[in-house]
Structure 1
Amino acid sequence: MSERPIFLGHRTSDKKHFRHPLASSPSRTSLLHSRPPDRLQLVPSRDHQQQVGADRPSSPSPPPATCSSGMVVVHGQRAEDSFGGFFSFDEDAASEDMSLDGLDEELEEHKDYDVLISILANGEKQRDIATLVEGNLGHAEQDLIQDYVEDSDNLVLLHDQIHDCDIILSQIGSLLTGFQVHIGSINSELRSLQERSLDISVRLKNRKLVETKLAKFVEEIVAPPSLVTVIIDGEVSDYLTELFFSMRKPGTNIQILQQNMHGSKVYTDVRATYADTMNKVLSAHFQVYIEALEKLKLDIGVSSDLTGYDTNIIDLISRGREHLRNHRFMFSLGERASILKEIDRPGLVPHISEVNPVKYPYEVIFRSIQKLLMDTASSEYLFIKAFFGEESLFYQVFQGPFKVINGHLDHTLRNYHDAVLIYLWPRFKTVFDMYLQSLYRCDTKLLWVDGSHPHHIVRCYVEFTASLIQLNAECGDGQLDMNLERLRLAVDNLLGRLAENFANPKTQHLFLLNNYDMTISVLKEAGDEANKLQSYFEEKLESNMISFADELLMEHFKDLIKFVRSPEDLILYTECPSIADVEPIVKNFAVTWKTALELMHNEVVTSCSNLLAGMEILKAAMVQLLNDYNRLSECVKIIPGGSTLNRNLVSITSISYEMRKYSITL
């Protein structure tokens, strides 16, 4: 806040001096022409002016006179006339150059000050007020000087302390400067040490690399201690003694001795004998190994295991000549996909595996045979290369083992009918077309089972499809995707034909619901690659769920559904239905609705193979029933005289409460 002007004789709250009420006024500043207050002088008395005027030459326009308190004396005008006799100036103290415009406004603004009121009331003169102010200022000045004298010792002491602090701070600054220089030198030393460390590290790395290569070379050229001991301390045989003695004879042909010693003919015989012996030995070993692994094989599928065939009929026909097979893994990939990620695992050991009655799919047996072949071939190749120095000998040695393994693979792949692991596309295409033909040509009357549970052919289809989708995830074969689409169309056609064997539409929709739900649950296990096919079956599931819910409601609430879902909308009726049309429906619903809900609940629980899917079906049916009954209630309200049926109407709250009980049970 700006400081408010104070009148003469009024002491401020924070300073020991008096101010004139016009000292800070803008109009007063204009009157003073911005002259500093120290140049203001008190107006002399009339007698003094006359005495001085006699000695001083007269001037045409005397300057305005001011008092020490800042009041300007105006020539030619008495202040008593302007201020009502408040100020008493001398008659000569007037100025024609100054104007007192705005003084009335300032006096009006400060009229509430006690000092001004006292002066106006008592009629005191300005000179008396100025004398009083000067006296007060003198006393205040003396008090200030005395206070300063009393505090002079403390000020001197403070000055000395500040000087001492300056000295101490300069010493600390010198120490910090020296410390900074020392840190800079340490930083330089650290950089040099870092460079030396990097240099030493590079040299050490190079020396270790050289040491590794030299160590291997030294191990190859240095004779082992045992050989040195034999050469130095061992006895020399007579055969070597004779050789040295024969070379000392004059005229001895050293070349003939060398040819006799090397024996190229003997080398050829040894080489041929080794190749023949190892060929027979390895062939026999591989033959025994393959026969032992054949006993551990798990038979999964044969040529008659097609999608559209009834496995029960085939088992009855072929039970006498075929051993028991595991149909569970016939169309599903199972754990066989993990074999591709475990290529480096050790092969099967027959005599250890025979103790454990576990059977293995052919993929495990195939990997074990190939693992043994690679290990044996690598070891034999290194020996032949080091001892004989001829790579062609390797193929002579393994001619027999290759023949045994190829014969086994030809026989196995020719009779192997698991379509998941047929890698040759033409053969796979042939078997795939056989699957499609079996689905289109199968007799639905023979395959039909009087029940709404998922059909075994649909399970075979979805497991087979999920396996192919998993194997095709990284390859992205478009031709396989096209064939899977053909297979899906064939299965849709088969499901439609199987559903037609049921007597009523409700059972048909329930049969399709269970099959679609089972298909979705299997495809979820196949991962994200099966999302597209899964979305298709989810749409089919949703459409059949709505149809099944409608059939279920039509069975238990036939009159209500027919009335509410009539061809004409209830709101657009030209003629409102009568009470006679609505009353039987309302009364029948009030009597049978709880029993009907219980029957619906029991039917869904016993008919649906998946309780979660059954809960969704029952929920959809109950929501639709609630909407239809709400429409019936609205219709009753618009019928003339419909209020008579209010006592028979069941509240929506009661129906919702009963429905929630069944939802909690599921």
Structure 2
Amino acid sequence: MELSKDSLLSSGTFLRESDAILASKTSAALGQTSKSATPGEPEEYDPEWLDLKFENLDLTCEDLILDDLEDNIQENLEDGLISEALDSGVDLGNYSKDVEKSLVECEGGAIKDYISQAGNICKLHKEIKTCDDILMRMENMLDGFQRDLGSISSEIQNLQSQSISMNVKLKNRQSVRGELSQFVDEMAVPEQMIQHIMDTPVSERNFLEQLHELSVKINFVKEQNFKEAFSAKDVIIILENLKLKAIAKIREYLLDKINSFKKPLSNYQIPQTAMLKVNFFYQFLVTHERHIAKEIRDHYVDTVSKVYFSYFKTYMRRVMRLQFEDSADKYDLMGSDENARRGFFSTKPAVNKNKSAVFTLGNRGDILTDFLEAPALVPHAAQKVDERYTYEQLFRTIMFALMDNCCREYLFLVDFFLVSGSAAQDMFSSVMGKTLEVVKKDTTQYVNESFDAVGNFLCLHIIYRYQVIMHKRQVPALDRYWDGLSKDIWKRFHYLVDLNIHSILECDVQKISNIDLRPHYITRRAAEFCGAIISINASFCDERVSQLLAQLWGAVEGFLNRLAKEFPNKKDQLILVINNCDLTLAIITERSREEGKEAEAINRTLNEKIQEFIEEVLLPHFGPLMTFVKEAEVLLQKGEIEQLRREENKVIQLVKSFANEWRKKMELINAECMKSFTNFKNGTHILQGALTQLIQYYHKFQKILSQAPFKNHPIRSELVNIHHLMVEVKKFKQTF
């Protein structure tokens, strides 16, 4: 019988289901066996109870119908083994039998395996059941745990909500307690405060501390009273009484301190220091009783203003007694004749004892460096030893005392009276205004009567430096005072310089006696004055000073030219100007740190005069040679060779004359230069310049002879070698 593909697939499905049924029956049988076994004894396998009968099982029945057979047909057709059998054309009947036989064999083998492992399977079944029981108990325990955890979680949430509620209540209570506690503390008036305000002296620290507390409580109660707090009405009367008592004690204390300034020979810095330690007193008065604060302020201004006025007026009068009796006057000018001032009955000149300091600086400049911030002079101590001082020294001590006191006073006003800016400046002016006026008046009066230009310029620079010091101390109180005083001093200084310039311009050289070639005393005065002014002005350069000194040098230069005309010889005129310019330049260079405009102008004039002198000193000795060189250069430039040829005899004479006399004439020039100039260094410099100029002339002379028409002239062999001249010139070079 030939099987179809569908029958074969149905048979395979049926076989798989039969295996499942067999396995279930086997398990049931094994279960019955397990139940019949005695507890505690090993189970024995009894094969007789298992009676499997397969005689009536027909796996090839065509009438076998299964519900899901059709659903698996397509799936079975896709099996690889079945598809291969169908494609290869194998007899399906035989193939089915072979498969059936294999299945029967496999089924029998499986049954034998089940039977052989029946004991182990029973044991496994028992262990599985035991595990199920254990797991069941564990499940019950876990269910109990889950129920307990659920109840614990709800309790935790309940506790958390209670904690949050309690925390909010605590914060609210703490906030209320803090504000209420602060309110009570600030509202309450302790017994300790009442005792200290009423009985403790003002100068003790406990009074100051309780005064701070009282001020805070008064402000707080005023604020609460404005808010209509009932508790404020209970303490406002007590605080008001304490305030009145404190104000009365403070007023009495401050008035006593201010009145102590009036005591003779009192050091008012001591009460000021004591007042600064309790500067809260004035702040308390300003806050709670303004009219008392104004009374204290007005009384301080009035008292201290009078004290400063009296002090500085007396101090200036005593200090000015220490000035030198002999000071510069209207006759102490650069252009004034030293012999012009004579006594009425005496032929001797009335010479100023301290006249050397009128135009020179000397050690007077130390007042701007070493003694700028030296302690102020003590008049009675200086009078005991009969010491005398220049005006700039007295001016410095007055201005230093003024600066020191003004700085201290300004800072005291700012710290104690709580003022700043324009208010501080106004109050300072109220205190020091009269004092500054009297100091400026007396200072300006002396300055306008002074003829000491160097002293005035020193005073001007003292002001500049003190102004810088006050700016470093951050005290701008005296800026207007310094500016006004410096303008007055500068005006007088400018006037004095102009006065000296006019004295030089109006100087009649014909009335000057004993005129010689040495530096004139007017030049020396001007040089010393310029050096002094340049040295002082080095730190605070002022272009106006340079302009004044330029005008002064112009006047001096004009005076020298007028003075030189008194000598008929031009050489003497040049020597006079050179000596005076050299002295002026040496003094200015020594005083100044670097060469300025003044030195440049003088040096330019000096070099011009030296060049003129060199020509004049060479002319008597080598005049024909110099004249020939100048004329020959012009002829060669024009190309007039024939006219130059006519000078052949002159050339021969010049060559021979120079060869025979050049050493002797150099000696004469050297002697003349050394004798003419007071500064040997300058004389040597001029001598070297003259000899160098001579070498240049002779070099030009040789160059002219090396050209036509003298190129082949035999006289060229007698020319002196230029190197011999240079060697000889070096012999006159001396080192100073």
| Partner Cα separation in structure 1 for residue 263 and residue 684 of structure 2 | 74
Q: Deviations over 1:547-569 (max 9, x none)?
A: 11110000222232222233654
1:363 aligns to 2:407 (yes or no): no
* Counterpart contact for 2:617–2:690, Cα < 8 Å: yes
| Partner Cα separation in structure 1 for residue 633 and residue 407 of structure 2 | 85
| Partner Cα separation in structure 1 for residue 447 and residue 372 of structure 2 | 20
Match of 1:598 among 658, 661, 667: 667
Structure 1 residue 304 displacement after superposition? 1.9
Q: Deviations over 1:409-454 (max 9, x none)?
A: 3553232122241641433343333233222222122247532222
Number of the residue aligned with 2:373: 344
Number of the residue aligned with 2:516: 451
**1:222-621 matches, cutoff 5 A:** 275=262, 287=314, 290-291=317-318, 294-295=321-322, 297=324, 299=326, 301-314=328-341, 324-341=352-369, 342-349=371-378, 360-372=389-401, 409=443, 411-420=445-454, 421=456, 423=486, 424=488, 425-447=490-512, 449-473=514-538, 477-527=542-592, 531-566=596-631, 569=634, 571=636, 572-575=640-643, 576-621=645-690
| Partner Cα separation in structure 1 for residue 648 and residue 594 of structure 2 | 59
Number of the residue aligned with 1:162: none
| Partner Cα separation in structure 2 for residue 663 and residue 321 of structure 1 | 44
1:661 aligns to 2:734 (yes or no): no
Q: Deviations over 1:71-94 (max 9, x none)?
A: xxxxxxxxxxxxxxxxxxxxxxxx
| Partner Cα separation in structure 1 for residue 582 and residue 667 of structure 2 | 24
The residue type equivalent to 1:574 in the other structure is E
| Partner Cα separation in structure 2 for residue 374 and residue 665 of structure 1 | 52
Q: Deviations over 1:395-414 (max 9, x none)?
A: 99999988986675355323
Going from structure 1 to structure 2, the CA distance change for 1:656 and 1:382 (only over 3 Å counts) comes to closer
Going from structure 1 to structure 2, the CA distance change for 1:466 and 1:651 (only over 3 Å counts) comes to same
Going from structure 1 to structure 2, the CA distance change for 1:431 and 1:597 (only over 3 Å counts) comes to same
* Counterpart contact for 2:318–2:379, Cα < 8 Å: no
Match of 1:622 among 661, 677, 691: 691
Going from structure 1 to structure 2, the CA distance change for 1:302 and 1:577 (only over 3 Å counts) comes to same
Match of 1:221 among 205, 216, 224: 205
Number of the residue aligned with 2:108: none
Stretch of structure 1 that moved more, 343-352 or 398-407: 398-407
* Counterpart contact for 1:549–1:621, Cα < 8 Å: yes
Q: Deviations over 1:440-480 (max 9, x none)?
A: 22212224753222222223333333444455556554544
The residue type equivalent to 1:659 in the other structure is V
Going from structure 1 to structure 2, the CA distance change for 1:578 and 1:525 (only over 3 Å counts) comes to closer
Q: Deviations over 1:481-518 (max 9, x none)?
A: 44443333323322222222221121222222222222
Stretch of structure 1 that moved more, 372-381 or 592-601: 372-381
Return the TM-score normalized by structure 2.
0.46
| Partner Cα separation in structure 2 for residue 319 and residue 419 of structure 1 | 29
| Partner Cα separation in structure 2 for residue 298 and residue 577 of structure 1 | 78
Structure 1 residue 331 displacement after superposition? 2.6
| Partner Cα separation in structure 2 for residue 630 and residue 393 of structure 1 | 83
Stretch of structure 1 that moved more, 436-445 or 629-638: 629-638
* Counterpart contact for 1:275–1:393, Cα < 8 Å: no
What is the DSSP-based 3-state SS (H/G/I as helix, E as strand, rest coil) of the residue aligned with 1:312? coil
The residue type equivalent to 2:501 in the other structure is L
| Partner Cα separation in structure 2 for residue 500 and residue 580 of structure 1 | 39
The residue type equivalent to 2:333 in the other structure is L
Going from structure 1 to structure 2, the CA distance change for 1:560 and 1:221 (only over 3 Å counts) comes to same
Structure 1 residue runs of 5 or longer lacking an equivalent are 1-218, 224-253
* Counterpart contact for 1:289–1:350, Cα < 8 Å: no
| Partner Cα separation in structure 2 for residue 592 and residue 357 of structure 1 | 69
Q: Deviations over 1:553-612 (max 9, x none)?
A: 002222322222336546453242455323333333333322221121122122223233
What is the DSSP-based 3-state SS (H/G/I as helix, E as strand, rest coil) of the residue aligned with 2:653? helix
What is the DSSP-based 3-state SS (H/G/I as helix, E as strand, rest coil) of the residue aligned with 1:663? coil
What is the DSSP-based 3-state SS (H/G/I as helix, E as strand, rest coil) of the residue aligned with 1:565? helix
Structure 1 residue 283 displacement after superposition? 5.3
Q: Deviations over 1:594-638 (max 9, x none)?
A: 222112112212222323322221111111111222333455565
Going from structure 1 to structure 2, the CA distance change for 1:220 and 1:586 (only over 3 Å counts) comes to farther
Match of 1:643 among 694, 697, 714: 714
Stretch of structure 1 that moved more, 497-506 or 376-385: 376-385
| Partner Cα separation in structure 1 for residue 493 and residue 506 of structure 2 | 20
Going from structure 1 to structure 2, the CA distance change for 1:542 and 1:394 (only over 3 Å counts) comes to closer
| Partner Cα separation in structure 2 for residue 322 and residue 644 of structure 1 | 70
**1:53-202 matches, cutoff 5 A:** none
| Partner Cα separation in structure 2 for residue 519 and residue 384 of structure 1 | 52
* Counterpart contact for 2:322–2:382, Cα < 8 Å: no
Stretch of structure 1 that moved more, 374-383 or 347-356: 374-383
Structure 2 residue runs of 5 or longer lacking an equivalent are 1-202, 208-240, 266-305, 417-423, 458-485
The residue type equivalent to 2:650 in the other structure is D
| Partner Cα separation in structure 2 for residue 620 and residue 298 of structure 1 | 50
| Partner Cα separation in structure 1 for residue 536 and residue 319 of structure 2 | 30
* Counterpart contact for 1:448–1:501, Cα < 8 Å: no
* Counterpart contact for 1:553–1:625, Cα < 8 Å: yes
Q: Deviations over 1:183-211 (max 9, x none)?
A: xxxxxxxxxxxxxxxxxxxxxxxxxxxxx
* Counterpart contact for 2:546–2:597, Cα < 8 Å: no
| Partner Cα separation in structure 1 for residue 445 and residue 681 of structure 2 | 48
- Number of matched pairs: 416
Structure 1 residue 544 displacement after superposition? 1.4
Going from structure 1 to structure 2, the CA distance change for 1:269 and 1:652 (only over 3 Å counts) comes to closer
Structure 1 residue 520 displacement after superposition? 2.2
* Counterpart contact for 2:695–2:725, Cα < 8 Å: yes
Going from structure 1 to structure 2, the CA distance change for 1:309 and 1:573 (only over 3 Å counts) comes to farther
Return the TM-score normalized by structure 1.
0.51
